[in-house]
Every structure is written in C-alpha cells, then in structure tokens.
C-alpha cells in the first residue's frame, strides 16, 4: 500500500506526486475524471485546488473527490531526480526549468 506525501501541480491535469518510498511520479489524471464526483475537476481552476490529506494519505478536493494512492502510483510515470538535485534545489525549481 502506498501513501502520498507531497503533490505539486504541473500543467493541465498533471501532478507530480511523491510517495512514502520517495518515488516521484508524474501523473496525468485527464482520462480519469469520469463520474459525477470528478465532473467539477474538469474545470482546471477547481482541479488546481487539490491538497494532500494526511489522514487518508492521498490527494483530495473539497467536493469529496479523491484517488487511491495505489491507483496514482500505478498510473504514474517515474520521474527520476538525483538525490543531490532534490536536496540542492527542490522539485519545484527543477520542474520550472524543465517545463
């Protein structure tokens, strides 16, 4: 079982998520916003309002929408950053220079 420790908005419906095992994954949720609970997330401004809920260890929105951390881990693409880069500049800095 996986746990979301940190999440950052990248672009469109993409998030960069750090898990409990320090794995960092780029996750595109665009094709996973089906169903009534996820309908509001199609509004990109609302999508950006996610937060990490430490009680359930995943990303959530105010309307009650959330995704299983195991699902997020499964659909994510590994985003490898050397330990030196993580410590020296931070993930947000690196992403700004890439995107």
Q: Residue 20: which of 36, 35, 38, 6 has the closest Cα?
A: 6
pLDDT in tens, 4-39: 999 999 999 999 999 999 999 999 999 999 999 999
pTM of the predicted protein model: 0.81
- What are the sequence ranges of the domains in the chain? 4-98
68, 3 in Cβ contact below 8 A? Answer: no
Q: Which CATH code for domain 4-98?
A: 3.30.2020.10
Percent of the chain beyond pLDDT 70? 81
Q: Where does the pLDDT of residue 88 fall: very low under 50, low under 70, confident under 90, or very high at 90 and above?
A: very low
Q: How far apart are the C-alpha atoms of 73 and 54, rounded to whole Å?
A: 17
Pairing of strands 4-11, 51-53: unpaired
Mean pLDDT of the 54-59 span: 97
DSSP 27-86: EE-GGG--SGGGGGGGSHHHHTT-EEETTTTEEE-TTS-B--HHHHHHHPEE----HHHH
């Amino acid at each position: 079982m996986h746990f979301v420790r940190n999440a950052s908005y990248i672009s469109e419906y993409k998030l960069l998520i750090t898990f409990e095992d320090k794995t960092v994954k780029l996750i595109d949720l665009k094709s996973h916003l089906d169903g009534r609970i996820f309908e509001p997330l199609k509004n990109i401004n609302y999508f950006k309002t996610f937060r990490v809920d430490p009680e359930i260890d995943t990303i959530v929105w105010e309307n009650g929408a959330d995704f299983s951390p195991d699902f997020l881990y499964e659909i994510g693409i590994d985003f490898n950053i050397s330990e030196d880069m993580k410590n020296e500049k931070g993930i947000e800095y690196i992403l700004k220079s890439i995107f």
